[in-house]
Structure 1
Amino acid sequence: MSILEIDSIILELGARRILSDIYIKCETGKVTTLVGANGSGKSCLLNIIMGKLTPLSKSVRIDNKPLKSVYPDINYLPQVPFVPGRLTVSRVFSDYQVRLEEFINHFPSFKTKVKHRFRQLSGGERRLIEVYLLVKTPAKFTLLDEPFTHIVPVHLEKIKPVIQSEKTKGFLITDHLYKEVMDIAQNRYLLQQGKTWPVKDMADLQRLGYINIS
């Protein structure tokens, strides 16, 4: 088992302190979720982990070894699309060395779309493929930023067990669909007012004022 740990983060944007009291532990073989309101700093935190955003201070470690500027053991799904629209579905799977046949077994509606260019797909279909590619691409840890956005419910219910089946990887997932990510996670955190709070269930989210389920 490998462990990705993030702490000692201080991030300020102008005069505003965005992140200041952070601790997250992500383990291989487990799904870790980070929920929080829009604008709470979830994407900023993932960008800090990936070295795309420079805070005032940070500590990012894998197995107690600090990560500097090279992140060979982590891949990252941003909120914005990353697959070029001109590529066909079959070409994308070939480039990423991910089995297209296995994907179609999970999502048979794509059988007739393998020759479609990516820009011909719906936003939810493109998002589903991008999530699947990174779930299946080798890495110790995969960071997924709002992976379920625009994915239709029938596909959402199928991609969740695909994520859970990857027992050699660790996942850190943020999503505004908190029920969906809480459902598949073993480790759960709430990001609120610049701090992370470990949570176990929906009752903890309500206790901390994030949701109201009464």
Structure 2
Amino acid sequence: MSVHIELPRELRPLMKKPLGILYRGKGRDTIEKFAGELSSPTKLISVGDVTTFHLLEAGIIPDICIVDDRTKRKPVSSDVSVRNRDKVYEEVSVDNPAGIITDELIRTLCEAFASEKLLRIFVRGEEDLATLPVILLAPPGSVVLYGQPDEGVVFVEVTEKKKEEIRALFEKLISKNQNNELDKIRRILDGHKDN
């Protein structure tokens, strides 16, 4: 059985608040609002099918994209699904149920950040919470982009300060889950190589 962190009901409102700068709008117009700020990030990571689709359509290729073929809990259009399977990516699949962050997802992210390959991580389940470990595991200077439903795209510049903010949120999640196995996840997120 895998180890996982579940998002408790009382912490769900925290996840509705953008973790970075919210660029309001829809589609490619929104991407164009921040495209000029993407000057050679250490890594560019997109989380979410619609965000990834619009980046690719704008000619912006994330180093890592995390998708689940769903948007707002419904299947994405075939156009989005096909475009997000761009041949430039090597694909890795992980299981990660809704409202949960699994150790499998975290380990896959660790491997993705250690790789020089362009990777598409396909999540069987839901990728919405992946943004949290992505920010923690991404090297400083990276940019994480994810969709804020019905509002736009959130632009997160990965800094040590941002990592500390997310680490504090993870500590709340871990303390609410009360599971000794979660120390393994904590150690991985803190940069230790656990097996």
Same fold (TM over 0.5): no
**Rg comparison, structure with higher value:** 1
Higher helix residue share:
2
Q: TM-score range with shorter-chain normalisation?
A: 0.3 to 0.5
